[in-house]
Amino acid sequence: MPYSLKQLNDAVRSDPAAYAAECDAAFTRKVENAARQIAEHRGESRIILLSGPSGSGKTTTALKIEEVLDRMGIETHTVSMDNYFNTIDPETAPRNRDGAIDYESPFCLDVDLLNRHFAMLDRGETIHVPKYEFARQMRSDILSQPLHLGPDELAIFEGIHALNDIIVGKNPHAFKLYISARSDLVDEDGAVIFDHTWLRLCRRIVRDFKFRGSDAGFTLKMWNNVRRGEKLYISPYRENAHLLFDSSLAFEFSVLKPFVVPLLEAVPAGKYEVVDQMLQGFARIESMDERFVAPESLAREFIGGSTYDNH
């Protein structure tokens, strides 16, 4: 369901703190609903597969669902599927049409190991979750961590390829959750002012700047390839999900604006059409100061100051 530009701007002008709290409360209800459905399904499998495209807030959402399940007395563990990436071997790595290594491909994952670990967990056996070192582009078994699920414990495996058929096909009973920011911002005539995919891009731009020191050009240069990977490897498999989860927050358009607009304005004019389109959209959106954003808000995954930063 799209968000109203007028309602957003009116709320940000009148009481931004209350509006941010209202949006976060609506998100919390979605998390609680997901946790209830997972709890009801746990007799089928101990595994939850959580997927979604880049910038969807998968990590924070998974941890929030874990917290709700823990409060329900169902101890839950969240595992990033990034740790199952294969050590990059230029000779065997998947490649795109241009001949470059296709880092978006599900075949960068050690699918056999993942499926073996899922089966072991469902049988009550102990696995050792590897650790992927991105700086060295290699997986370390030395840094692996043991994981064993008790009789009423669950494991959430989150990653962009979690719902791909090569994984779901071997784990048909796992609970499957697809997360994405799915709501556009529209004017009173229903015209799209800010597309939901732009929201994810802005999340990425701000996060890359805040946590990596990268400028907007760094993120924009990769974005077309990221979107190509989404269309090929991620979005087609959302139909495998038991639940589709919209991770957008209406106030984010306003709270991201002060962060992202200066970064976009530093990009050479005309280099990326999407930059001009986003700046036109932001010109009609009221800004919100980040002080109105709660530490536990999903928005903090992208602007910093999250209660999950040190998880």
Q: Where are the domains of the chain?
A: 3-303
How does the average pLDDT of the chain come out, rounded?
Answer: 94
Per-residue model confidence as pLDDT tens digits over 44-80: 999 999 999 999 999 999 999 999 999 999 999 999 9
Please state, in angstroms and rounded to a whole number, the distance separating the CA atoms of residues 211 and 20.
23
Per-residue pLDDT of the chain (311 residues; tens, 9 = 90+): 899 999 999 999 999 999 999 999 999 999 999 999 999 999 999 999 999 999 999 999 999 999 999 999 999 999 999 999 998 888 888 888 888 888 889 999 999 999 999 999 999 999 999 999 887 888 888 889 999 999 999 999 999 999 999 999 999 999 999 999 999 999 999 999 999 999 999 999 999 999 999 999 999 999 999 999 999 999 999 999 999 999 999 999 999 999 999 999 999 989 999 999 999 999 999 999 999 999 999 999 999 986 655 44
What superfamily would CATH give domain 3-303? P-loop containing nucleotide triphosphate hydrolases (3.40.50.300)
Label the pairing between strands 3-4 and 127-133: unpaired
Per-residue model confidence as pLDDT tens digits over 193-235: 999 999 999 999 999 999 999 999 999 999 999 999 999 999 9
Query: At residue 208, what are phi and psi to the nearest 5 degrees?
Result: -60, -35
